[in-house]
Amino acid sequence: MKNVILALVFLLLFLLEGTVFAWLIPYQVDRLITVVPHPVLIFTIFIAVYLHRYKALLYGFSFGLLKDVVFYGHVIGIYTFSTAFIGYVIGLICRHFHPGFVLAISMVAIGNFFYELIVYGLYRLLNLVHVELEWALFHQFLPTMLFNTVLAVLLFAPIHRWVLQPFHDADEKINTP
């Protein structure tokens, strides 16, 4: 039941990512810098912080794969790998900390940055992107990181109240390493 609810929230965020969020970015901003909303990644990181790293790995893998297949253009596997990897590593870092708002939000900021870096690096490795790192850093990575941190602050309250807190309390015994 718990997993069904988690999967449904993921699915909703995934659907919003390609449709509603794509229209959220104002017209004028799009031409100057690139801001990419990552609600699915944000939720993966929340799960890594509050629940368990294996859960984050599993959901990151599944919904990364979904993104890869639905928006298949160049290659399959990049989003699968990076979402799952970020979810797992953040879960690994956070297992000794007590989960809370500040930890979750800062992890979203860090995770987002490295997610962008991994995705960019893989595309660069496969010779599909030719933009220099420095330009990408200032025009995509940092604006995207800021935007997603704000998005995470907005999403935190509802997700924490209805999904994370009840599940976290139930998981307390299993989660302790």
Partner 1 sequence: MIKFLGNKRLFVLLLSLILFTLVMGLTKGGRERLTWPEMFLKDTVSWVQSLFYEPARHVTGFFGDLNRLDVLYEENKALKRSLSRYATDSAKLSGLESENARLRTILEYQGSKATDIDFKVAEVVSRSPDRWNNVITIDLGSKHGIKKDMAVITPGGLVGRVQTVSHLFSNVQLVTDIEQGSRVSALIQNKQQSAFGIIEGYDAKTDQLIMKRIKLDDPVSKGDYVITSGWGEVFPYGLMIGQVEEVMIGQYGLTKIARIKPSADLYHLYEVLVVERSMQVPPRLMNDSSTDGESANGGDGS
CA angle 64, 129, 116 (to 5 degrees): 45
Per CB under 8 A, 30 contacts partner 1: yes
> 29 φ, ψ to 5°?
-65, -40
Report, in Å, the least distance between residue 79 CB and partner 1: 8
Q: Which of 1, 4, 27, 176 binds partner 1 (CB under 8 A)?
A: 27
Rg (CA), the chain: 16
Q: Which of 13, 37, 58, 107 binds partner 1 (CB under 8 A)?
A: 37
Nearer to partner 1, 79 or 167 (CB): 79
- Binding to partner 1 by CB under 8 A, coded x per residue (else -) over 156-175, reads --------------------
**Segment near partner 1 (CB under 8 A); pick from 47-55, 66-74, 100-108, 146-154:** 66-74
**Segment near partner 1 (CB under 8 A); pick from 2-10, 43-51, 71-79, 154-162:** 71-79
* Distance from C-alpha of 53 to C-alpha of 94, rounded to nearest angstrom: 9
* Distance from C-alpha of 110 to C-alpha of 15, rounded to nearest angstrom: 24
Closest CA to 29 of 121, 139, 164: 139
Report, in Å, the least distance between residue 91 CB and partner 1: 13
Question: Which residue's entry shows tokens 């919003």?
Answer: 16
Report, in Å, the least distance between residue 80 CB and partner 1: 7
Per CB under 8 A, 31 contacts partner 1: yes
Nearer to partner 1, 37 or 87 (CB): 37
* Distance from C-alpha of 176 to C-alpha of 118, rounded to nearest angstrom: 30
Count Cα atoms within 13 angstroms, Cβ side, for 92. 8
Q: Which of 10, 21, 50, 147 binds partner 1 (CB under 8 A)?
A: 21
> 99 φ, ψ to 5°?
-65, 140
Number of residues that bind partner 1 (CB under 8 A): 46
